[in-house]
Amino acid sequence: MEAMKDATQSTVGLPFCKMHGLGNDFVIVDARTAPDLITEDTSRAIGHRSFGVGFDQLVVLRPSDVADLDVEFWNSDGSRANACGNASRCIGRIIMEETGKTEATFRTGHSLLTATSAPDGQISVNMGQPQLQWDQVPLAREVDDLMNLPIDGAPGAAGMGNPHLVFVVEDAESIELEQIGPGLEHHELYPERTNVEFIHIIDRTTLRMRVWERGGMITLACGSGACAAAVVAHLKGLTERKVTVKLDGGDLTIDWREDGIWMTGPTTHVFDGVLSQAFLDSV
């Protein structure tokens, strides 16, 4: 991402890079070297796919006194998120390319994460342990069984630094996400709204997942959602602790180990650019 650094020093405006993990796409702003201009309004403006750049999440990189970087996540509707799995893999790649090391650490709003290089150019990130208490997910009230919520379809709940609602269905392909996703995102049991995943089990080590992401969109992939889906599927007795999650944008490997949930998959650096001063002034 050297072009982004060069643009910071020579161009009026706000440099950024565009990356994606399995089509889950991100605008990344390096506030270590560029102005820290991100607000709710600028996040919405940059996130608009017709009038801005477009993204599933906006990522802001900042200096850290405890890790390689501090990281902030924004949704395209201007709301904040504490976790984003595929973006975390992209951040790990940025740090490792900068340092020449095979391991990176960074602090999100949820926790301190570690990323490592993996075979075939892939990146692994330890997303930590899932939150499996009702007030940690969080839910609006205590429920008897997090794996069988009092919602039609008996979905499971898990937190991954952000809330998730996971339905096990016969055929994830047949789910009309755009019809039922918004209502479930705003379900009264989730005071902070929720990501919504629909999975069907292919075998004990493979599942298919589609996702409605908090912030009001269908995304091609969701890393934290894949982790939550793997947790719910395992705790329901349907899969092993290590699974391949098949998403619209490709496959992630999720491995729930003693030290946390490791997620492995590819990342892609698409391009570097600069948001013009005129665009920023119009926000």
Span 224-256, pLDDT tens digits: 999 999 999 999 999 999 999 999 999 999 999
Task: Please list the residues that pair with 111 across neighbouring strands.
Answer: none
Q: What average pLDDT does range 192-199 have in this prediction?
A: 97
Question: Are the C-beta atoms of 7 and 271 separated by less than 8 Å?
Answer: no
Asked if residue 143 is part of any domain, the answer here is: no
Residue 134, domain member (yes or no) = no
Q: Is 227 assigned a catalytic role? A: no
* Helix or strand holding residue 270 (H, E): strand 268-275
The single-letter code of the amino acid at 245 is V
Chain segment 109-168, per-residue pLDDT in tens: 889 999 999 999 999 999 999 999 999 999 999 999 999 999 999 999 999 999 999 999
Other Cβ atoms within 10 Å of 278 Cβ, number: 9
Question: Is residue 192 assigned to a domain?
Answer: yes
| Residue 144 forms part of a structural domain | no
Any bridge partners for residue 106, and if so which? 69, 113
Are 35 and 107 in a shared domain?
A: yes
Which residues are paired to 15 by β-bridges?
Answer: 274
Report yes or no on 139 lying in a domain.
Answer: no
Are residues 111 and 13 part of one domain?
yes
pTM for this model (two decimals): 0.92
pLDDT for position 11: 57
List, for residues 17-32, the tens digit of each pLDDT value: 999 999 999 999 999 9
**What's the CATH code of the domain at 93?**
3.10.310.10
Which residue in 17, 84, 90, 227 is the catalytic one?
84
Tell me which residue of 228, 105, 83 sits closest to 167, measured CA to CA. 228
| pLDDT for res 114 | 97
Residue 10 pLDDT > 50:
no
Same domain, residue pair 57 and 95: yes
**Could you tell me the residue range of the domain that residue 177 belongs to?**
156-258
Specify whether 45 is located in the same domain as 100: yes
Q: Look at the chain and report how many structural domains it folds into.
A: 2
Q: Which of 17, 90, 222, 227 is catalytic?
A: 222
- Whether residue 196 lies inside any domain: the answer is yes
User: Distances in Å between the alpha carbon of 263 and those of 29, 140, 227, 245, 282?
Assistant: 23, 28, 7, 10, 39
Do 225 and 272 belong together in one domain? no
Average pLDDT value for the chain: 94
Residues 11 and 72 in one domain: yes
